Amino acid sequence: MLGFIVKRTGAALATLVAASVLIFMFIHLIPGEPAAVMLGDAATPEQVAALRTRLGLDEPLIIQYFYWAGNALQGDLGRSIFFDEPVTTVIADGAETSILLASITMIWVVLIGVPVGVIAAMRRGSWLDQGLSGLAMLLASIPTFWVGLYLILVFAAQLGWLPSSGYPSIFDEGGLANLRYLILPSLALATPNAALILRLTRASMLDVSKEDYVRTARAKGISPRQVTVRHILRNALLVVVSAFGFTFAALISEAVVTETVFALPGIGRTVVQSILRRDYPVIQGVILVIVCLYLVLNLLVDISYRFLDPRVELE
Amino acid sequence: MTATLQGVFGAAIRRPLTAFGLLFLVVVIVFALASPLIAPYSPLEIDSLNRLVPPNAEHWFGTDHFGRDTFSRVVYGARLALLIGIGVVGFALMTGVPIGVVSALYPRLGRVLMRGVDVLMAFPSLLLALGLIVILGRGVSNAILAIGVVYLTTTARIVYGVTLRLREETYVEAAQSMGAGTLWTVRKHILPNMISPLLVQASFVFAFAQLGAASLDFLGLGTPPDIPSWGNMLAESRLYITRAPWLLFFPGMMIALTAFSLNLTGDALRDHMDPRFREAMGNRKRT
Amino acid sequence: MNAVRKTRSLMLSCAAVIALAAAGALPAGEAEAATLRYATIGEPPSLDIQMGTATLATTIGQNMFETLYAFDEAGAPQPMLAEGETISEDGKTIVITLRTGVPFHNGAEMTAEDVAASLNRWIEFGARGQTLNASSVEATGDNEVTITLAEVNGAWKSLLAFPNGGPAIYPADIVTAAGGEPIKPENYVGTGPYKFVEWRPNRHVELEKFEDYAARSEPSDGSAGAKEATIDTLQFIPVGDVSTRVSGVQAGDYDYAEYISGDLYGILKDDPSIAPHISSAPIFGLMFLNSKEGILAGNWKLRQAILAGLNMTEALQISVGDAELFAAEGSIFPEGNVWYSDAGTENYNQNDPEKAKSLAAEAGYNGEPIKLLVSTNYQQHFDQANVFKQQLAKAGINVELNVTDWATLLKERGEPGSWDMFMTHHGPSPDPVLLTFMNASYPGWWTTDERNADLAKLVGTSDLGERQAAWATTQELVYEQIPAVKVGDVFSFDIASPQLQTTWERAPAFPYFWGATK
């Protein structure tokens, strides 16, 4: 087991190093000057050149990379060109929104996706199952920003039930009630993901029910209901848990668009805006952190999967 | 392969949803091929006197803020949707298949290649596409490339898994022990067996390419906005959502239903696929 | 089993959080009356208003920082931190007396040293510092600074009054330490009615009332006169999406939202939950023509052909919408402004494809592609470019759009070989010398002999009448050589909650809220 953990961690670290080089190279290939964007429309070329030098953008790329990677190892991701603040601060500012948004979305996804998936699986082949599966497929095919725009139109602009946009911190005035700002965005974001988890839950429950040990349990005379609860659901959940790794990462990716629609101060929107502003340190930092998160989550899922699943033998 | 297709059409008769999906795809294809015949107006003709007109007998889907006919733009938008889909699928297959097959047949090289695929997969797909498009600049081919890279990874992984499995199978081993060349083995045994899993993958990639392209368009980083695409129509009309909600409805519906139909087709194909490969198909990534 | 139980308890606790949140939900809009929440189009750049020309930075910064002069309602510069001035015979030496007893937010009193240090930094590094053409600024007494100009510059008072990229007065030690760098937020210290509290990226910039503010005794008049911070706290919140800004004000989440899309005006003006404020200062679209390289360089006939083929009314209708929000006005400065002139404007808004065709033929044009660079970050730029493309196609002029994002456009327009035309816009300008197309180093690079001669007349005197005449000649030349095409005046419109009472009806170029109540 330990060997397995070491091996997987090593692979994840290697991926991370390769990804960091890729991020750095990519970002400096982007055309456009952060200096020009900052100085505005009326800036002269001389002013732009002076600011460029001041920002250290004249150094050779390879030197810039080693500075960046070396500092990143010490937890320093550099300073935002635009905000003139440490990138870690910029990320920390966006992290609360993004983590809460992803978490609330995951709650919807689990609360809706798993039970409905179980129901569909237990009624396999019925009109209910077909209807639910078809609906799930449809919901998984709808762009989240489209859902988001219509949610705003109906629940914020017309009915006025929920705020349309923005998110004041729960640590600010308003406290936990500020979570209401995240209800519409999380619903938009949950739409396709709940549908996917629904389908996944249904499919894995059906797969597991064909396994030998379930047949054995049935043969031993355990009631079908108990078989469902004790064995099938539990093992199906394992599959679902493993899917969370990439669903969570997908959430961060999709949140880029959702955060833009709902003007949320999350890290997804920070990345998009930093790309438009050519704020290299922020883009690099945020993507590095997201990639790290993705790798860690997948590592944890991999390891816990080996722990939890009785059928998987250790390599 | 014929068996798979027969299966799909069989399913279409038994399952009305699949029939709907196939029918809708036919509509999209007809829109794309015959857009000048179907569209009542030019998709680009500006008419400043008829801006933001609600749906009526003359303009079935209303007009946008340029006074352009939304229905005509939706019809022409099908062209770009198909182009993007075919482009992305083509790119993903043309890069993913060689990478996957080579990796499976030459394990040493394969380790390096698949590690590279892992690295790309560690990036959130939309951010990866976004980054690429900012580097390459806006444009149809660049959007195809940017989204294609995302699905290169998943395709390569699936092909890798399937090839490994096929390689283990006795007939391939037997062929090899009889001194057959690698190329011959690939052509004779591996590729033909891969067609049905690739068809399934292609329909899912096609579906997700629609959503990915729409997201890029929406963020203002997709296809050039002077070309009518469903995503661009959404991006341009979002300012008018309170005043002209119908403007967003039709293009959004087209994106959703196209992706839906492709997903249905993919599902139907998968249901009739060789169960040996289903496991390899499990790993799906979305934009 | 364990995992399941854990998942279940996690679900339960999460559900509890949601329920709590829903139960605790306040009716929207019950923010404190003492806070004004202003939804901006995005995150502002540095608020050091000397260094940048972003409108948003000025809108926020003008609450904290003041200049020696300030524009009144009619656009004339009036003393703000200055008390008065004397000008030498030759017009090159200006002695300014300063007000006394004006405290900075850090408690120190403003001195002539602070003013001299701020002006010197602005002249050396400021975004518009070079426009003054000063050779020195010195503190020549406790309350007196002397500005020596290298050349007579009739625009000097306007330049000292214009806050956008303008000479804000900071404490001497802060400007000296900052030098050419933008001042950091923790050092935002000015003399204005509000002081800096915090800047949380993507969330808000917060300012609060400066209790010791020294107001002028004259009544409030535009940006000039007395200013009283009647609202305790100002929050500037970045909300990039316009429909979100609108629904935010409708729902009471924001008290004020800037730059609302013109097409919404029609429905919003009758919405009881919203009070619209049309801007009093037009912004005008500009399509620059490349004077340095490419098919348009030096090709006056082809340029005139392009101008002849354009229908500005249509472009404005489509890109702006409501007729109350635009004016197809050929004069660079709006009517009522001291710089208004109709010289050359007969060439504006001709909408004559036939004339365009024959002019293009005279120019020897044969359908070569003309590259128009445009970004989608500004919807109006793109809409106008798209309309122009269709209009010029009718005259046989083949425009190719090159659509990029704004950052790429800023880079590409710097390369003379890569474009023929690009779209941008121009904010309200207090003086013709500040217009971008009059700047020889601005992309477009308009530096003909005729232009140089006209410009020399424009800056060579401080007599307003002579300068007005010089500008009229220059504008005529602009319509002949066409360094840039003016699209038309666009009046942006902002919206406010009906409870917000401001001292102005039409929104100023940089909306301010002293004297406002809610």
Residue of B nearest to A270 (CA): B127
Contacts C266 to B, Cβ<8 Å = 243
Give C-chain residues touching B226 at CB under 8 angstroms: 386, 389, 401, 403
Q: Which CATH architecture has domain A94-298?
A: Orthogonal Bundle (1.10)
- For residue C247, the chain B residues in CB contact (below 8 A) are 242
Name the percent of chain C lying above pLDDT 70.
Answer: 93
Task: Report the first-to-last Cα separation within chain A, whole angstroms.
Answer: 8
Residue C208 neighbours by CB distance under 10 Å? 18
CA distance B220 to chain C (A): 7
Here the ipTM equals 0.82
Q: Can you say whether residue C88 is alpha, beta or left, with left for phi > 0 and alpha for psi between -120 and 50 degrees?
A: beta
For residue C233, give both structure tokens.
């706290």
- How confident is the model at residue A85, as a pLDDT? 81
Chain B partners within 8 Å of A253 (Cβ): 124-127, 287
Cβ neighbours of residue A64 closer than 8 Å, sequence gap 6 or more: A24, A28, A56
Question: Environment class of residue A43 by beta-carbon count within 10 Å: exposed (0-12), middle (13-18) or buried (19+)?
Answer: buried
Give dist(CA C284, CA C18) in Å, integer: 48
- Give the pLDDT score at B126: 86
Q: Report yes or no: C8 at the A interface, CB cutoff 8 Å.
A: no
- B222 is written with which tokens? 């997709």
Residues of B in contact with C408 (CB under 8 A): 137
Q: At A161, list the tokens.
A: 């039930």
- The C-alpha of C443 sits at a distance from chain B's nearest C-alpha, in angstroms, of 21
Nearest of B209, B219, B221 to residue B134 by alpha carbon? B221
Residue B115 has a pLDDT of 87
Select from B48, B134, B221 the Cβ nearest to the Cβ of C318. Answer: B48
Those of residues 9-28 in B touching chain C at CB distance below 8 A are none
Q: Residue C42 corresponds to which amino acid?
A: G
Q: What is the pTM of this model?
A: 0.75
pLDDT single digits (tens) B36-50: 988 888 888 888 778
- Assess whether pLDDT exceeds 70 at residue C32: no
A-contacting residues in C 317-376 (Cβ below 8 Å): none
Q: What is the spatial distance between Cα C509 and Cα C37, in angstroms, rounded to a whole number?
A: 18
Kindly tell me if the per-residue pLDDT of C60 is higher than 90: yes
* Chains in touch with A (≥3 Cβ pairs < 8 A): B, C
B175 to A304, B110, B153, B190: CA distances (angstroms):
41, 22, 29, 11
Residue A239 has pLDDT above 70, yes or no: no
Average pLDDT across each block of 10 residues of chain B; the chain has 287 residues. List them in order.
56 72 92 89 83 86 87 93 95 94 89 88 85 85 92 91 79 66 75 84 90 89 86 85 85 93 86 63 42
Structure tokens at A122: 């237990």
pLDDT in tens, C423-468: 999 988 888 888 989 988 889 999 999 999 999 888 877 777 888 8
**Considering the domain B12-286 in this protein, what is its CATH number?**
1.10.3720.10
The reported pLDDT for the residue numbered C94 is 93
Interface of C with A in 280-309 (CB under 8 A): none
Q: How confident is the model at residue A271 (pLDDT cuts 50, 70, 90)?
A: confident
DSSP string, A274-307: HHHHT-HHHHHHHHHHHHHHHHHHHHHHHHHHHH
Q: Flag whether pLDDT at A299 surpasses 50.
A: yes
Pairs of CB atoms within 8 A across A/C: 181
Q: What angle do CA A153, A157, A163 make, to 5 degrees?
A: 105
Q: Cβ A273–C240 below 8 Å, yes or no?
A: yes
Question: Which stretches of A180-279 are DSSP H helices?
Answer: 183-209, 212-219, 224-226, 234-261, 267-277
Q: Do C383 and B134 touch (CB under 8 A)?
A: no
Residue spans of the domains in chain A: they are: 94-298
DSSP, residue by residue, C325-358? GEE---SSSPTTSTT---TTGGGTT---HHHHHH
Q: In this predicted structure, what is the pLDDT of residue C322?
A: 81
Q: To the nearest whole angstrom, how far is the Cα of C428 from the nearest Cα of chain B?
A: 25
- For A18-65, write each residue's pLDDT tens digit: 888 888 887 777 777 777 766 666 666 777 777 777 666 777 778 878
Q: Which of B247-256, C31-40, C332-341 has the highest mean pLDDT?
A: B247-256
Provide the token pair at A241.
Answer: 């848990």
State the Cα–Cα distance between residues A145 and B216, nearest whole angstrom.
11
Q: Measure the CA–CA gap between C354 and B130, rounded to whole angstroms.
A: 44
A79–chain C Cβ distance below 8 A for any pair: no
Tens digit of each residue's pLDDT (9 = 90 or more) over C143-179: 999 999 998 887 888 899 999 999 999 999 999 999 8
Chain C contact set for B243 (CB, 8 A): 263-264, 266-267
Residue of B226, B229, B236, B248 to mutate when probing chain C, most C C-beta within 10 A: B226
Average pLDDT score over residue span C222-229: 92
Strands C399-404 and C370-375, by their bridges, are parallel
Q: How far does Cα A276 stand from its chain's mean position?
A: 21
Mutate to test the interface with C, among A52, A165, A235, A260 (most CBs of C within 10 A): A165
B115 in contact with C, Cβ within 8 Å:
no
Nearest Cα residue to C107 out of C211, C206, C178, C209: C211
